[in-house]
């Protein structure tokens, strides 16, 4: 059974989250690690396959373009690693 996979970016102190639907298995497997390196401070990156059951991240703002999604979560200072 195939699943739709979503990368969700949630700011801890704000309601709602940004959501990107992965278009390929490669995106699903590689993007979360990359996004952890460039994310804003105070942001959580999670990979979900059934966003309807995770109410703590709602409401979702969907971003269809990967480059725009990356730009939205990586503005400001990245987290130091």
**Would you state the torsion angle of the CA atoms of residues 19, 7, 56, 11, taken in this order, to the nearest 10 degrees?**
-80
Estimate to the nearest angstrom the gap between the alpha carbon of 66 and the chain centroid: 10
* pLDDT on residue 81: 43
What is each CA distance from 21 to 41, 53, 63, 80, 81, in whole angstroms? 22, 16, 8, 27, 26
Per the model's pLDDT, the better-predicted residue between 58 and 80 turns out to be 58
* pLDDT on residue 76: 56
pLDDT in tens, 24-44: 989 899 998 889 888 888 899
* Number of other residues whose CB lies within 10 A of the CB of residue 20: 24
Q: What's the pTM?
A: 0.84
């Amino acid at each position: 059974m195939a699943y739709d996979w979503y990368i969700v970016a949630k700011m801890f102190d704000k309601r709602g989250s940004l959501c990107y639907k992965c278009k390929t298995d490669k995106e699903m497997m590689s993007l979360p690690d990359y996004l952890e390196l460039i994310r804003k401070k105070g942001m959580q990156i999670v990979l979900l396959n059934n966003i309807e059951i995770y109410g703590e991240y709602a409401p979702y703002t969907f971003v269809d373009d990967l480059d725009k999604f990356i730009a939205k979560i990586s503005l400001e200072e990245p987290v130091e690693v």
